[in-house]
């Protein structure tokens, strides 16, 4: 009877956590879609295919804050789906360790730690974007205006796919149970710290892939979805090592082709 009651509670917990993640991810993508539409209407209502590198750029604290918010929300929408398995497992372990009441607060403390690290990455990405815009290497639509920059990002992302550091971080992301067994810490502070550590490994394996957004456009939602989908495959699905290696080769070849293109 006790085992049956625990199993029913675990099922309810999983549904609550999964539903809350779905809502947050959906809101993030809705924000990104509205932001992308606003940018298109502002910068190129009648010329959707033009890059216009010479157009005036918004500057100042307000522009920085909006760009930072965009990157932060984008990381939420891109990374939470691939982190869902780890988050659900954390909730299960909390319940099995004898916690009373709903696991949702603890789960979202863990998730907040995870997203805090990606928020730090978003701050760095915002600073990089503003620097590239000031150097006229990125258009107002946040697309690379330099063939050399695009090629360099593609080649760097491809090479990074093969590095031992990438594999070490990815291995941690692929084995959340081993992570929790070796790094478990109780309580709210423990949840926050474990979430931050999990996020750090995730940033370690994915940060260069995020720079690919500058190649096709930071607000190109199809490109955003493709990268998010690849991260999901690389972390969770069978054949992920082959996919990772193949992607590295494809990225390097794409970068070289762009460099030698007449």
> For residue 182, is pLDDT > 50?
yes
The CA–CA distances, whole Å, from 117 to 162, 168, 180, 200 equal 23, 18, 18, 6
Residue 25 has a pLDDT of 96
List the one residue out of 209, 211, 210, 201 whose CA is nearest residue 168.
Answer: 201
**Residues 225-250: tens digit of each pLDDT:** 999 999 998 888 776 677 788 889 99
Question: Which distant-in-sequence residues (6+ apart) come within 8 Å of 232 by Cβ?
Answer: 81, 82
DSSP 145: -
Residue 52 has a pLDDT of 43
**Residues 249-258: tens digit of each pLDDT:** 999 999 999 9
Average pLDDT score over the chain: 84
d(CA 87, CA 191): 11
Handedness of CA 252, 150, 74, 121 (dihedral sign): positive
d(CA 164, CA 36): 36
- Contact between 56 and 43 (Cβ < 8 Å): no
**Residues 31-41: tens digit of each pLDDT:** 999 888 877 66
**Residues 140-175: tens digit of each pLDDT:** 778 888 899 999 999 999 999 999 999 899 988 888
Residue 213 has a pLDDT of 93
d(CA 156, CA 175): 26
> For residue 60, is pLDDT > 80?
no
**Residues 72-107: tens digit of each pLDDT:** 999 999 999 999 999 999 988 887 765 544 566 788
> For residue 45, is pLDDT > 60?
no
d(CA 149, CA 255): 10
């Amino acid at each position: 009877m006790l085992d049956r009651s625990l199993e029913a509670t675990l099922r309810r917990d999983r549904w609550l956590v999964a539903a809350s993640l779905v809502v947050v991810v959906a809101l993030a993508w809705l924000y990104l879609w509205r932001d992308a539409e606003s940018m298109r209407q502002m910068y190129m209502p009648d010329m959707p295919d033009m890059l216009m590198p010479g157009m005036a750029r918004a500057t100042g604290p307000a522009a920085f804050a909006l760009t930072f918010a965009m990157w932060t929300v984008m990381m939420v929408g891109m990374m939470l789906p691939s982190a869902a398995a780890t988050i659900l497992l954390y909730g299960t372990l909390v319940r099995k360790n004898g916690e009373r009441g709903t696991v949702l607060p603890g789960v979202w403390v863990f998730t907040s730690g995870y997203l805090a690290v990606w928020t730090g990455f978003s701050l760095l990405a915002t600073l990089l974007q503003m620097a590239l815009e000031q150097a006229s290497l990125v258009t107002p639509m946040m697309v690379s205006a330099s063939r050399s920059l695009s090629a360099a990002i593609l080649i760097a992302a491809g090479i990074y796919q093969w590095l031992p550091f990438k594999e070490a971080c990815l291995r941690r992301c692929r084995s959340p149970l081993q992570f929790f067994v070796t790094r478990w810490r109780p309580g709210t502070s423990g949840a926050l710290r474990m979430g931050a550590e999990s996020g750090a490994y995730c940033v370690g394996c994915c940060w260069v892939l995020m720079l690919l957004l500058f190649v096709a456009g930071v607000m190109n939602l199809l490109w955003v979805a493709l990268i998010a989908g690849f991260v999901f495959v690389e972390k969770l699905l069978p054949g992920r090592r082959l996919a990772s290696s193949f992607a590295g080769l494809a990225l390097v070849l794409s970068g070289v082709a762009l460099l030698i293109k007449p």
